[in-house]
Amino acid sequence: MVLTAVTKTQPAEALAAALATGQRLFGENRVQEAQAHWAELRSRVPDLELRLIGPLQTNKAADAVALFDVVETLDREKLADALATAAAKAGRTLRVLIQVNTGEEAQKAGVPPEEADGLVRYARDKGLIVEGLMCIPPADEASGPHFALLRKIARRNGLDTLSMGMSGDYETAIRFGATHVRVGSALFGERNRSETPSSD
């Protein structure tokens, strides 16, 4: 189980402090902010791993491919097309997770659970390296059943990576087999701007 430190909205000092402890996996939910945070550090910290954990628009696919090692939020065929094209242009392979909307919430990103297998196949056919699944359970429900559902979908697709669990529920996520927990405020303190993980 590894920790993805979520540095969105954090000042440069917080990033430096985390790097000084040896932390190398970081999550960001906006491409532009991630560029501001990491574009320059990237060249100085060779073993950095940057993971996009927020929704991605197809017109930012090339920027995302240029900066991130892993895109955790692939949730539709059009985005798979855009990422595959951008990766090919950049001459690299791209590691992705499929984001599953386990709670089937209308406003939340993620592929519906019953369409996840199809999207896994589609992304693989496009040459993307599908490593696993990611979810953000509904804020007002127990997380356990959502983590269990994600694990079940991963197993039947032969996927190892489960990115699930945040500050409020990472212990539950670990019990349900999380390989990556994405923790922000429990590490860095509350964010200044109020922001929900499902926004934009």
Ligand X SMILES: *Cc1c(COP(=O)(O)O)cnc(C)c1O
Nearest distance, CB of residue 197 and ligand X, angstroms = 3
Among 6, 70, 97, 100, binds ligand X (CB under 6 A): 6
Q: In this structure, are residues 98 and 83 in contact, taking their beta carbons and an 8 Å threshold?
A: no
Tokens of 34: 């991630």
Contact string (CB under 6 A) for ligand X, positions 85-124, x = contact: ----------------------------------------
Cα separation of 121 and 142, whole Å?
A: 30
Q: Is 8 in the site for ligand X (CB under 6 A)?
A: yes
Cα 120 from Cα 153, distance rounded (Å): 10
> Near ligand X by CB under 6 A, which window of 11-19, 42-50, 108-116, 162-170?
162-170
- Which tokens belong to 105? 């919430």
54 binds ligand X per the rule CB under 6 A: yes
Candidates 18, 34, 53, 82; binder of ligand X (CB under 6 A) is 53
Shortest reach from residue 146's CB to ligand X, in Å:
13
Q: Which residue is nearest to ligand X (CB)?
A: 184
Q: Is 136 in the site for ligand X (CB under 6 A)?
A: yes
Using CB under 6 A as the binding criterion, the count of chain residues that bind ligand X stands at 15
Burial 59-69 (b: 16+ CB within 10 A, else e): ebbbbbbebbe
* Residue 173 near ligand X by CB under 6 A: no
H helix and E strand count, the chain: 8, 8
- Least distance (Å) between residue 168 CB and ligand X: 6
Contact 165, 148 (CB under 8 A): no
* Cα 145–Cα 151–Cα 157 angle in degrees, nearest 5: 140
- Minimum distance from CB of 74 to ligand X (Å)? 13
What does residue 127 show for φ and ψ, rounded to 5 degrees?
A: 95, 5
Q: For binding to ligand X (CB under 6 A), which residues are involved? A: 6, 8, 29, 53-54, 136, 166-168, 182-186, 197
